Amino acid sequence: MSKKQNSQLIRDLTTGSVPVTLLTFATPLFLSGLLQTVYNMVDMIVVGRFVGTNGLSAVAIGGEVLQLLTFVAMGISNAGQITISRYVGEGRRDRVGQMVGTMFTLLMSAAVILMIIFLFGYKGVMRWLNTPASSWDMTRDYIVTCICGLVFIYGYNMVSAMLRGMGDSRHPFQFIAIASVLNIILDLVFVAGMHLGAFGAALGTVIGQAVSFIFALRLLYRNREQFYFDFRPEHFRIYKEVIKPLLSLGIPMVIQSAAITFSMLFVNSYVNSYGVNAVAVTGVGRKIEQIVNIVSQAVSSAGGAMIAQALGASKTSRVPKVVLTAFCVVAVPAALMGIITVLRPEWLFGLFSSDEAVLTLALTYIPFALIQYTGSTVRPAAFSLINGSGNSRLNLTVALLDGIVCRIGLAMLFGVKMNMGIRGFWLGNALSGLVPGVIGAAYLLSGTWKNRVSVKTA
């Protein structure tokens, strides 16, 4: 790779038009998320068509467990990305190399530990989730296969976060494209061709992630000089100089991710007790909502990196512009998705299943999907500011309110106390997604984020 190409790994996000910079940086992230969502949806579409409702239920529950397993990777990786962006904005490149070594050691160790724990404890998780007996075996196969590939999933998220922290969102898109294409091909081979069921879908996902991680690791090695990390064994360690800022932001992000995932699993444990049709509708609904969420997550990640670099460079006037732009960018696809959901629900849900019972129940999910789209619109602006400013305490507050107090509390209120049944659990889960937007708006108006202009180190 030429020096000119190498220089593209480091981008200054504090110059130029805010909308243009945000869209330029977020577009590859969006495309990465879109591809990832597509291949996750392909899992459900192929399994739903070739295996049936029980297979669809297995993939839905297995996907929820996999999301639980990745909470450490998501939290620490996002924190690492934000912190690296701050170091880049401050011109402290030596800290970037230390962060790379620290993240490698921390996340790979976490992946191995979680893999061992869940290989022994997955049955308890399945029972807690009220996994239907008719889909038990397929759900077990899906979960165990994904657990065995946890190292690759952690590795991909880690390296991609490092690259995005340096201002490079193009290469992570290329890596997820590799994983997506492989997964789609392998789904058709393993599930449609070899009739391996949910196990085949999980195997395709793991292989795709493994190949993607290998390509990402290769790029990182070839550009090791820019990261001030030479891949020597003695440098794969935790550096005290960077572990404090990483954990001060990462722990709340881990708690946030874990709390949201745990609370969703808690709510779904009640939903799953209504049978495979309820599980299928909830799983399909989540996949459809993910179409908006991928824009939300891409903008949140890009906005957080931009705000981190802006604060690192003391350009505070740029921050409100990033927040407003983040909101407007997500509002457009959310509105379009809402229109499609209201006008063509049978077609939308029919992509995943032709079961009349599933499609009939899916029509009652529409109002809750619209609330979910609204939450996806307000969250990226809030998280861009909260994460980009490195406000770990506020991040923890959002995690506890969104993930535990509101989601579980509202779901139990509507679903159990008010006896609304499955619709009550759907409503509680949807309304909790609005909480980060309210908190983020208050934080923006307070102006206290202006004081957070440097990374604190040990």
Question: Is 82:237 a contact under the CB 8 Å cutoff?
Answer: no
256 vs 108 pLDDT, higher one:
108
pLDDT at 428 over 60: yes
Residue 7 in this model has a pLDDT that exceeds 50: no
User: Taking residues 395-414, what's their average pLDDT?
Assistant: 81
For 269-304, what is each residue's pLDDT tens digit?
777 777 778 877 887 787 788 778 878 878 887 888
Is the pLDDT score of 152 beyond 80? yes
What average pLDDT score do residues 345-359 get? Answer: 80
Q: What is the pLDDT of residue 458?
A: 36
Is 4 inside any structural domain?
Answer: no
Please indicate, yes or no, if residue 190 is contained in any of the structural domains. yes
- Looking at residues 368-376, what average pLDDT do you find? 90
Q: What is the dihedral of CA 239, 251, 29, 46, to 10 degrees?
A: 120
In a domain, 2, yes or no: no
How does pLDDT run across 320-332, given as a tens digit for each residue? 888 888 888 888 8
Residue labelled with tokens 């997506």: 180
Domain housing 266: 17-444
DSSP, collapsed to helix, strand or coil, labels residue 70 as coil
Say if 430 falls within a structural domain: yes
Q: Residue 255 pLDDT > 80, yes or no?
A: no
pLDDT of 121? 86
pLDDT tens, residue by residue, 70-91: 878 888 888 888 788 778 767 7
The distance of Cα 264 from the centroid of its chain, to the nearest Å, equals 14
Mean pLDDT of 435-454: 82
Q: How confident is the model at residue 4 (pLDDT cuts 50, 70, 90)?
A: very low
Return the pLDDT at 25. Answer: 67
Q: With respect to residue 11, please indicate whether it lies within any of the assigned structural domains.
A: no
User: Domain total for the chain?
Assistant: 1
pLDDT computed for residue 453 by the predictor: 56
For residues 78 and 254, what is the distance between their CA atoms, to the nearest angstrom? 9
Q: What is the DSSP letter of 271?
A: H
9 lies in a domain? no
Q: What is the residue-averaged pLDDT of the chain?
A: 80
Question: Rounded mean pLDDT of 261-267?
Answer: 76
Sign of CA dihedral 368, 338, 443, 307: positive
Q: Report yes or no on 145 lying in a domain.
A: yes
Instruction: Give the mean pLDDT of 352-361.
Output: 79
Residue 2 pLDDT class (50, 70, 90 cuts):
very low
- Domain-located, residue 134: yes
Q: State pTM to two decimals.
A: 0.66
The DSSP-derived string for 100-161 is HHHHHHHHHHHHHHHHHHHHHHHHHHHHHTT--GGGHHHHHHHHHHHHHTHHHHHHHHHHHH
Instruction: Say which amino acid occupies 213.
Output: F
